[in-house]
């Protein structure tokens, strides 16, 4: 009796590690995500009654939507940052292209950015970074970005940001 149970359960036990790895994927295809980030930014703002330059901390909250077969994403986020004239607010929307298919991947961002306070400006942002997939639903990233905008003044900034991406495969 013991041998017959062992003969049934032993192959099942040997299959469990293979089954656990079979559903783990890192391509983002069909995923929607939540971005949580923070970091530092060197910003130069100049315009009517505003002349700010210097380093400040930033907090980001946003989302992603995977497009295409490779899991590249449309993304957007809002940014809050303390400044000399109160809190600064901005928004970014664009495209993130990933390179690689395993846990460690690089990315490039091409975005449109708008600053709402302390100046009203719009412009472009480019960024690059690395993302490590902890699981198929959780990734951590670090990146750099540059932004240039104009409007009711001029903004030029450089940033270093890190954060967390939480994903759900709702669209698959």
Q: pLDDT tens digit string along 46-80?
A: 888 888 899 999 999 999 999 987 789 999 999 99
Question: What sign for the dihedral angle of Cα 65, 67, 72, 75?
Answer: negative
Query: pTM value?
Result: 0.82
CATH number of the domain at 104, please: 2.40.160.20
Beta partners for 43? Answer: 54, 157
What pLDDT score was predicted for residue 138? Answer: 97
Q: pLDDT tens digit string along 108-130?
A: 999 999 999 888 999 999 999 99
pLDDT at 172 over 80: no
What's the domain count of the chain? 1
pLDDT band at 166; cut points 50, 70, 90: very high
Structure-token pair, residue 98: 């990933």
Averaged pLDDT of the chain = 87
pLDDT at 137 over 90: yes
CA-atom Rg of the chain in angstroms: 22
Q: Who's near 7: CB < 8 A, 6+ residues apart?
A: none
What pLDDT score was predicted for residue 100? Answer: 86
pLDDT band at 85; cut points 50, 70, 90: confident
Contact 141, 127 (CB under 8 A): no
What pLDDT score was predicted for residue 11? Answer: 46
Q: pLDDT tens digit string along 4-24?
A: 555 544 444 444 443 345 567
Q: pLDDT tens digit string along 99-111?
A: 987 899 999 999 9
Domain hosting 58: range is: 2-168
What pLDDT score was predicted for residue 122? Answer: 98
What is the rounded CA–CA span in Å between residue 40 and residue 55?
A: 7
pLDDT at 2 over 80: no
């Amino acid at each position: 009796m013991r041998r017959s149970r062992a003969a049934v359960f032993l192959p099942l036990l040997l299959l469990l590690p293979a089954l656990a790895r079979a559903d783990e994927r890192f391509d983002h295809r069909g995923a929607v995500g939540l971005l949580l980030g923070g970091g530092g930014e060197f910003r130069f703002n100049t315009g009517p009654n505003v002349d700010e330059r210097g380093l400040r901390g930033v907090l980001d909250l946003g989302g992603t939507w995977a497009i295409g077969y490779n899991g590249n994403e449309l993304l957007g986020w809002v940014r809050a940052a303390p400044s000399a004239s109160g809190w600064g607010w901005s928004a970014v929307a664009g495209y993130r292209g990933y390179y690689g298919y395993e846990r460690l991947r690089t990315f490039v961002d091409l975005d449109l950015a708008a600053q709402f306070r302390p100046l009203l400006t719009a412009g472009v942002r480019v960024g690059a970074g690395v993302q490590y997939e902890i699981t198929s639903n959780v990734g951590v990233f670090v990146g750099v970005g540059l932004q240039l905008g104009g409007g009711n003044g001029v903004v030029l900034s450089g940033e270093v940001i890190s954060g967390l991406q939480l994903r759900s495969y709702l669209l698959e």
